[in-house]
Structure 1
Amino acid sequence: MSPEQSLRALRGATTATANSREAIQEAVEELLNALVERNNLSGEHILSLTFSVTTDLDACFPAAIARQRPGWGGVALLDCQQMAVAGDLKRCIRLLAHVWLEQPARHAYLRDAAKLRPDLAQS
């Protein structure tokens, strides 16, 4: 961490095309890649990352996918189930990360999850 960096909360969400390991992995990798690119992140910048998934996704753990990324061995990762609310977006993967950044956080809302936060979907 450099003196110019501040601890910031970074948000993101996406949707998986199916409840399969392959579909969840594709969605998680796409979301993580977008956040890494938008914020110029490496593993040393990320303090913790919590994933939540809707109840219709149970084929694998998103944190297990993130744990495979080079340089992310020191990142605290956690999975949890999103609160079930009638009419919620299906097959949704959300994340909250605490990261060290010099600039304001650039969030990522991809695929159908762009509907959740249209104001942040293109940031």
Structure 2
Amino acid sequence: MENICVDWQVRAIRGATTASENSVEAIREAVRELLDELETRNNLDPELIISVTFSVTRDLDAVFPAAIARERPRWCNVPLLDVQQMHVKGALERCIRFLIHVNWPAHREIYHPYLRGAQNLRPDLNLAVAVAAEK
């Protein structure tokens, strides 16, 4: 049997989305969609996650995104933190962002999901750009 060696690194994954309104249901829908996209596009095993920091704009206070993430299968042992994002006049409203640190194979591509109204926040990392490049 061939011995395969994979180099691993600690890597960061960024992503963001927007909620349609400040309600538990709207925030839950947005966070679930964002995390579904994260896991699916990256084929991410939650066991590889070191920690997750969620930030939300000050207009979202109905529920903690971390509480929604904790409902996911295999996320119960992931260290999660919620913070309020610094307010900047004119910035995107109802925005939910994450910064996730993971143990990751050194040469494997990472997809950074930016969904809904957040698609233009980081066009250099935007998932839509990566999808278009694949076609």
Decide: shared fold, TM above 0.5. yes
Number of paired residues?
122
Q: Secondary structure at the match of 1:78?
A: strand
Task: Show the counterpart of 2:42.
Answer: 39
1:59 is aligned to 2:62: yes
Instruction: Answer with 69-78 or 88-97: which moved more.
Output: 69-78
Judge conservation of contact 1:43–1:74 (CA < 8 Å) in 2: no
- Deviation, 1:111, is 0.5
For 1:112, which of 105, 114, 117 is the aligned residue?
A: 117
Q: Which amino acid aligns with 1:74?
A: N
Give percent identity, aligned residues only.
60
Judge conservation of contact 1:43–1:73 (CA < 8 Å) in 2: no
The answer for unaligned runs of 5 or more in structure 2 is: 131-135
Q: Secondary structure at the match of 1:108?
A: coil
Task: Give the Cα separation in 1 of the matches to 2:51 and 2:72.
Answer: 14
- Deviation, 1:3, is 4.4
Task: Show the counterpart of 2:29.
Answer: 26
Q: Which amino acid aligns with 2:114?
A: Y
Q: Deviations over 1:20-39 (max 9, x none)?
A: 00000000000001110111
Instruction: Answer with 22-31 or 110-119: which moved more.
Output: 110-119
- Deviation, 1:119, is 2.3
CA RMSD of aligned residues (A): 1.2
Q: Secondary structure at the match of 1:37?
A: helix
Task: Show the counterpart of 1:69.
Answer: 72
Q: TM-score, normalised by structure 1?
A: 0.94
Which aligned runs of 4 or more in structure 1 are off by greater than 4 angstroms?
none
Which is greater in Rg? Answer: 2
Task: Give the Cα separation in 2 of the matches to 1:67 and 1:42.
Answer: 15
Q: TM-score, normalised by structure 2?
A: 0.86
Judge conservation of contact 1:14–1:114 (CA < 8 Å) in 2: yes
Q: Which amino acid aligns with 1:50?
A: T
